[in-house]
Structure 1
């Protein structure tokens, strides 16, 4: 077995996880117990990710026999080999500049932007006791949840692990359930105003070719 290079850096793993969690918190400050649950689940995903990225490569260790048999020219216990899609594709590029890493970066940036843009709109609406329908909420009913899903998807393209792959569908299902519950509560509280907004604004996938809320309702 090759000596593991770039692992065992637990302080670095903890520091990176704390940095990303703090960064996410600065954009998505939880307003209630439900928000804290969703943010806590996202934080667990980040901790699991960086624990393997810089601590111990559990996924590589468990799959090392299969990986070595399929791609014998790769040092699977080097740090760069943790970028599994790039290594399996075999383009011979620096994995930090490969297609999966670039896609990952784009998704993560888009996710953080969406969360950052949505939170102040939601915060002002909650304080005023009204429905959030401007900014990202003019195109998506659940932009913050969509943003967290984009971030997690981006990290999976960059550094997939068995743990985060198992967590991902569970977290997505949790965000979908939370969104359904919020839709019901908003419908009960805001009635016709919410019904009109819902008819115009999709929950997860924006109609990019359609003007913002206020245009012709969707079918």
Structure 2
């Protein structure tokens, strides 16, 4: 295998891309509580780990280099585009940025950011009025912002999977599920029976595809 050369060691790009996505996510999520900051911090750690391998040091490629080179000997695994492992492994011949996994990743990332942004608007509006947020995405799932973060991370994994981010992903999903349970305990204490009715009416993370959108605002 050739030296990585100009493909990696681009630490300025690691910093710039990490900062752009973290600031972008911050502008959508606008963390306020300690719980918000914990979820945002976990997402930020995922982003930094991702771009460190994408532009800094390709740890996954080095660890798997023997297997990758013997299984796909015609691919230069230290070329930057080869980091798009799904396209490479499935024999995508054209630019990997136009490959099916890359396109799917953009859909997931864009959908995640959209969900976080729209959900935050409805949550902020409900908080200002001292009521339970049950409109917009909250009419279909109880924790749209956590789902949005998971969609974004899943999108990044489809585009540029690494050993570290693959290991982090289930841990972060578990962390978001735990934060959601803590959030529900707080809401039960604050809103009581209204929140119990909301729990019965609206699923936590996966919307009912056949069900109609519910608007269940409670004072």
> Could you say what the CA RMSD is over the residues aligned between the two structures, in angstroms?
1.2
Distance in 1 between the 2:162 and 2:92 partners?
21
Match of 1:85 in 2: 86
1:203 paired with 2:197, answer no
Distance in 1 between the 2:63 and 2:215 partners?
53
Distance in 2 between the 1:7 and 1:42 partners?
23
User: Contact 1:156/1:164 (CA < 8 Å) preserved in 2?
Assistant: yes
Match of 2:50 in 1: 49
1:3 paired with 2:7, answer no
Distance in 1 between the 2:95 and 2:57 partners?
22
Report which stretch shifted further, 196-205 or 164-173: 196-205
Q: Secondary structure at the match of 1:153?
A: helix
Q: Secondary structure at the match of 1:213?
A: coil
What 5-or-longer segments of structure 2 have no aligned partner?
Answer: none
Length-normalised TM-score, structure 2: 0.95
In the TM superposition, what is the alpha-carbon distance from 1:183 to its structure 2 partner? Answer: 1.3
Distance in 1 between the 2:209 and 2:73 partners?
45
User: Contact 2:135/2:215 (CA < 8 Å) preserved in 1?
Assistant: no
In the TM superposition, what is the alpha-carbon distance from 1:128 to its structure 2 partner? Answer: 2.3
What 5-or-longer segments of structure 1 have no aligned partner?
Answer: none
User: Contact 1:200/1:214 (CA < 8 Å) preserved in 2?
Assistant: no
Length-normalised TM-score, structure 1: 0.95
